[in-house]
A and B are shown apart, each in its own frame.
Chain A
Amino acid sequence: MSIPAPSSASAVDVRGVSRVFRTGKGQSVTALDDVSLTVAAGQFVSLIGPSGCGKSTLLRLIADLDTPTGGEIHVFGKTARQARLNQAYGIAFQSAGLLPWRTVAANIELPLHLHNVPRARRAERVRELIELVGLADFAASFPDQLSGGMQQRVAIARSLAESPGLLLMDEPFGALDEMTRERMQAELVRISAETGAAVVFVTHSIPEAVFLSDRVVVMSPRPGRIRAIVDVSLGEVRGELLREEAGFFAAVTEVREALHLDQAAPARGMDLR
């Protein structure tokens, strides 16, 4: 199969990427081994797998917070580095990472401020985003006055500040309680639909991945590889009732079986791609 040239149509194009960490004394750990993945514009893709499967590493490589030891990464047809310099993506981490001395509004404003967006446009954009994440009453609050879920919503609003075509999210709901988590998932589905941004979403949770994604990428550890890609076709509109539908359960089962493949079947190293 010939690999097509990176087109600007795909949001992320990962080709044959490896990342080897040197641990000193000639030893090394292969966090990612020959991983290829394409995320189309506007597509929601989750990376799921056990700890150490390299899903966060892959996200960091796409964000150019780390450099691959092999292979190529393109974001909207540009190199990962150029994409970062051009602000092609917004990013959110497991902890909100808000600046404690800035109010909610000023935290959301931060990337715009850093990039010298005029004051009036900044204020307008912040107003929209605060509305989008439902924190209009808390614009002047400081992060330490907010709950964890609210802080995470601020972080998401901040990642959307420059209307990126791509959102990179590293377990953004990992530290939240189950109820807040489900509400945030529903909001993220709505937000990603409204903004039309592609999303690469790292998670530990199978139901979360299935609920959110168009495609779920199942990874295996040591060395980190893509084991299977599950297409989830649950439609555009995803309400709370979706969690109780048969199609949802079928997709959850499919992801679970792909994750637990090595325990179920002895055929290790089977290529399901």
Chain B
Amino acid sequence: MMRLWRRLGLGALSIVLLALLWEAYKAVGPAGGVDMAGLQLLPRTTDLAMPHIADMVIRALEPVNSSAGSAPVWIAVLLAGVSSLGTASVGLLIGSVIGVLLALLMQRFRLAESAVLPWLVLSQTVPLIALAPLIVSWGGRVQIGAFEWERWMSVAVIAAYLAFFPMAVGALRGLQSPDAIHTELMRSYAAGWWKSLLYLRLPASVPFLLPALRLGAASAIIGTVVAEVSTGAKGGIGRLIIEYAQSGSSDPAKAYAPIAVAVVMGLIAAGVVAALGLLLPRYRRNEISA
């Protein structure tokens, strides 16, 4: 428990240090920034380029705009963050299921591994930005009865597209991790594929699945934000990042609130995965003792 508090304390300290560094550079750095041979090395220190931390905080507490009944910025970005986190969770869930199913397929059939794995690697080389409009336009044509495809679903699919890859690779490594002695033991027990999976391969893959899930969660969040930016899906944090950045010249401090929330989203995802790991200590004994 002490260790946990210590780590939280160190984390908070690093944030404070970053803020101090920001303010220190802003105080001593030249207004025009530092450039060398026409190359900008350090940013300008004007209030427009680098607002004071205090201004960012104050701006976050003020209403979004001058219209009557406008909510404070921090509430708007927090709501958007929650919405995006929900979309990212759906994406991560879909990505995890697909990733684990692909890993099972590849573990079960050697042929599938050599046939599918190159495509998985290839899939991740397609730029997300190129993919987003395609998925949105495909989604727009989906209409089954009362069900209608919504924009956020396209975002979730894009998040899943990023998240499934680390899950598939991690799960495959985990499923293949048992030693020959264990697989032979299962064979001597006349345990079929399904029982070997349940009693041996799945438990053995937990130490591989947790880091994969952490990577997958981060990918899902990045995917969500980028997809929201490129599809213009309403309600998400990606949309606010764009909107607030556009008002940058007149209201520079406002743009930092959604960025801070995006960072917090990543921290929450990592925290949830870490908590999940704490629930499964029995399957991580090798990890701990090693």
Q: Please report A residues at the B interface, Cβ cutoff 8 Å.
A: 63-65, 84-85, 87, 89, 91, 93, 95, 97, 99-101, 110-111, 113-115, 142, 144
Contacts and interface: CB of A to CB of B under 8 A. Distances in A.
Interface residues of B, number: 21
Contact of B189 (A93, A99, A115): A115
A115 B179 CA distance: 22
B234 interface: no
Nearest to B281: A101
B195 A101 contact: no
A84 B200 contact: no
B199 A101 contact: no
A55 to B, nearest CB: 17
A144 B285 CA distance: 8
Contacts, number: 48
Contact of A84 (B188, B283, B289): B188
A63 B181 CA distance: 13
Given A95-B181, A100-B285, A65 B199 contact: no
Given A84-B190, A85-B190, A87-B189, 6 more contacts: A63-B188, A65-B188, A84-B188, A114-B195, A114-B199, A142-B282
B108 interface: no
Interface string B254-290: 0000000000000000000000000000110110010
Interface in B69-83: none
A144 B203 contact: no
B99 to A, nearest CB: 22
A97 B185 CA distance: 8
B182 interface: yes
A249 to B, nearest CB: 35
The dominant DSSP class at the A interface is loop
Interface of B: 179, 181-182, 184-185, 187-191, 195, 199-200, 203-204, 206, 282-283, 285-286, 289
Given A97-B181, A97-B185, A101-B282, A87 B190 contact: yes
Contacts of B289: 144
A99 B199 CA distance: 9
What 3 A-B pairs come out closest when comparing CB atoms? A97-B181, A101-B283, A144-B289
B242 to A, nearest CB: 47
B181 A114 contact: no
Contact of A65 (B179, B182, B187, B203): B187
B182 A100 contact: no
Given A100-B286, A101-B203, A65 B184 contact: yes
B1 to A, nearest CB: 22
A111 B191 CA distance: 9
B182 A99 contact: yes
Contacts of A65: 184, 187-188
Nearest to A95: B181
Which of B181, B185, B200, B283 gathers most chain A CB within 10 Å?
B185
Contacts of B283: 101
Which of B181, B195, B199, B283 gathers most chain A CB within 10 Å?
B181
B192 to A, nearest CB: 10
Nearest to B179: A97
Contacts of A113: 199
Contacts of A142: 282, 285
A114 B196 CA distance: 9
Nearest to B285: A100
B173 to A, nearest CB: 17
A63 to B, nearest CB: 6
Contacts of A111: 189
A114 to B, nearest CB: 5
A161 to B, nearest CB: 10
A114 B187 contact: no
A110 B203 CA distance: 13
A114 B189 contact: yes
Contacts of A99: 182, 199-200, 203
Nearest to B284: A101
A101 B203 CA distance: 8
27 contacts: A64-B188, A65-B184, A84-B187, A84-B188, A84-B190, A85-B190, A87-B189, A91-B185, A93-B181, A93-B184, A97-B181, A97-B182, A99-B182, A99-B200, A99-B203, A100-B285, A100-B286, A101-B203, A101-B204, A101-B282, A111-B189, A114-B189, A114-B195, A114-B199, A142-B282, A144-B285, A144-B286
B279 to A, nearest CB: 13
B21 to A, nearest CB: 44
A192 B190 CA distance: 24
A97 B186 CA distance: 11
A101 B285 contact: yes
Contacts of B286: 100, 144
Which of A84, A95, A101 gathers most chain B CB within 10 Å?
A101
B164 to A, nearest CB: 26
Contacts of B184: 65, 93
Which of B179, B184, B188, B204 gathers most chain A CB within 10 Å?
B188
